[in-house]
Amino acid sequence: MALLKSGNPTLSAKIFNTTISDQQQGVMTARGAMNKFGFLFLMVIAGAAFTWHLYYQGKAQTMMPLMMVGVFGGLITAIVISFKQTWAPYLAPLYGLLEGLFIGAISAIVNEMFATKYPGIVIQSVGLTLGVAVAMFLLYNFRIIRPTQRFKSILLTATAGIAIFYLITWIVSMFGVRMEFMMLGDGSLLGIGISLFVVIIAALNLIIDFDMIEQGAEMGAPKYMEWYCAFALMVTIVWLYVEMLKLLSRLGSRD
């Protein structure tokens, strides 16, 4: 049974097919993957609570380096896990902590920016992210949205396009070119439209992630793939949360 492509670059048919014969430690289950995702979620919360606490203790100068460690450390860790899936049981928790450092820091900064104009923006972002994740799971579980090959191909193309667009934006910013509609808190209709589109794409990626986890379990992928799948799902959740925070900040800027 061939696995279909996922919009999430960390989940692909090639990864499952190349690990399918490595089953000495047992086989993965969907429940096992979700349990490990729950553990990674706790790691993210722990890291986020730490940098959030630093910010509100007046230690922003200490928090900022930790935020950068979270950004680049998380990126490096994610790349390593993507190429070395067998390391996922050891590196996935580290990824969760690093992403937590970043999320806690950026959340504290945005919360302070909108403390008067949009109080509770972080709580709403967290709530909406969890709500969307649950909704996507239910839509997938009851087969209301079916991840067909065409659906996956379109979503993969859209996800790749967003990644390229963000990369180009980052590169031109290094040369002093500012795209105002990409700035945090920009309330233009274009900026809001882009954020809304990205949030939708990130949310739909969850459908494909759930499908890939289920298929991996059905194919009898090795046990360590539970950690890898939990990590991959966390990648999408973190992306969705950051984009949700950006969207609400832009909507709040128009009030």
Q: Quote the distance between the C-alpha of residue 170 and its chain's center.
A: 19
Please tell me the distance from the alpha carbon of residue 153 to that of residue 27, in angstroms, as a whole number.
28
Quote the longest CA-to-CA distance of the chain.
58
What is the residue whose two structure tokens read 């990409």?
A: 182
- Residue 52 has phi, psi (to 5 degrees) of -60, -45
Please tell me the distance from the alpha carbon of residue 38 to that of residue 43, in angstroms, as a whole number.
9
Residue 2 confidence (pLDDT): 35
33 forms bridges with which residues in the sheet? none
Residue 170 confidence (pLDDT): 84
Residue 5 confidence (pLDDT): 42
What is the residue whose two structure tokens read 């302070």?
A: 112
Whether the Cβ atoms of residue 85 and residue 225 lie closer than 8 Å to each other: yes
Q: Quote the distance between the C-alpha of residue 20 and its chain's center.
A: 25
27 forms bridges with which residues in the sheet? 222
Please tell me the distance from the alpha carbon of residue 232 to that of residue 234, in angstroms, as a whole number.
5
For each of the chain's 255 residues, which pLDDT tens digit applies?
333 344 555 555 556 555 555 556 689 999 999 999 999 999 999 999 999 999 999 999 999 999 999 999 999 999 999 999 999 999 999 999 999 999 999 999 999 999 988 899 999 999 999 999 999 999 999 999 999 999 999 999 999 999 999 889 888 878 877 776 566 667 788 888 999 999 999 999 999 999 989 999 999 899 999 999 999 999 999 999 999 999 999 988 875
* pTM of the complete model: 0.89
Please tell me the distance from the alpha carbon of residue 191 to that of residue 188, in angstroms, as a whole number.
5
Residue 9 confidence (pLDDT): 54
Shortest CA distance to 221 belongs to which of 13, 8, 16, 69? 16
DSSP 119-141: TTHHHHHHHHHHHHHHHHHHHHH
